[in-house]
Amino acid sequence: MNRAAAPSLQAMSDGTFVARPSYFGAEPTVRPEVFDRDGTARLPIGCFLIRTAEQVVLVDAGLGPRRKQMPDGMELHGGQLLTELTALGTARHEITDVVCTHLHSDHVGWLFDSDAQPTFPGARIWFGAADWDYFVDGPGELDVEVEAGFRRPQNSSLLRPLDRETELAPGVTTLMTPGHTPGHLCLMVDFGDRRSLLLGDAITHPVQLAEPTWHSFGDVDANLADRSRQQLWHALEDPLVTGTGAHFPGLRFGGVRVGAGRTWSS
């Protein structure tokens, strides 16, 4: 790729995910470097902004202006995404594409307003086709306004379900990484001399490299999620590839270093 044409990439957070070891099926006393003295980890609700010569791509749409309670005292606090976009000098109408790595509530919260109107007018909305089958037409849970937005006939021309690897902007390619949800997507951003993987929730936290049995309790298919995660760890062994997930601490990018063992380095 021509270096001048390489996309730019910036991380943002819509709020905070208060997680506990139980999220990963782990005991409360493990990994004090991850969980603080009250047994919680305060993680971001990550979103990303990619600019190419002609497109402005938002990756994930946060939780939206709400608070969501989860089991075991865990919770999500959202609402910061639009402020974050303003700080980056980006108006809602400038967004040409929104890519949802999957359709869990903390990745789709700003897609539609309470009247099922798109928050980002005219932006194409990309998502895994299998997630439509699971969340919109199947047993998966969607917030009322999000489901209404997906089903609203006037929005149908904006929807772009994906069932294969797709280059949706120059240097920006979606990868099929099912398991956490049936249609989970990751994105590879190619800068010419290096590449970055946006992992969504296919990997929830870098600690999972050292704790391979830890899985998200949100995984729809834990075995398939593990296979996707292992493929992504392998891709991150390439020294020219870095990655981050939607809930990685500080949304810091890193990679897998291979020596006496495999370690995460950011």
What ranges do the domains of the chain cover? Answer: 3-192
Closest CA to 48 of 7, 17, 77, 76: 7
CA 124/CA 230 separation, integer angstroms: 30
Assign 1 a pLDDT band (cuts: 50, 70, 90). very low
Residue 4 has pLDDT above 70, yes or no: no
The C-alpha atoms of residue 252 and residue 266 are separated, in whole angstroms, by 7
How are strands ordered across the β-sheet holding 195-198?
166-169, 172-176, 185-190, 195-198, 241-244
What percent of the chain stands above pLDDT 70? 98
The per-residue pLDDT for range 153-167, each reduced to its tens digit, is 999 999 999 999 999
What pLDDT, in 10s, does the model give residues 164-176? 999 999 999 999 9
pLDDT of residue 91: 97
Of 247, 70, 240, which is closest to residue 255 (Cα–Cα)? 240
Q: What is the CATH number of domain 3-192?
A: 3.60.15.10
Mean local confidence (pLDDT), 47-57: 97
List, in sequence order, every beta strand (DSSP E) within the chain: 8-19, 41-51, 56-59, 67-69, 75-77, 97-99, 124-128, 159-162, 166-169, 172-176, 185-190, 195-198, 241-244, 255-258, 262-265
pLDDT per residue as tens digits for the range 109-161: 999 999 999 999 999 999 999 999 999 999 999 999 999 999 999 999 999 99
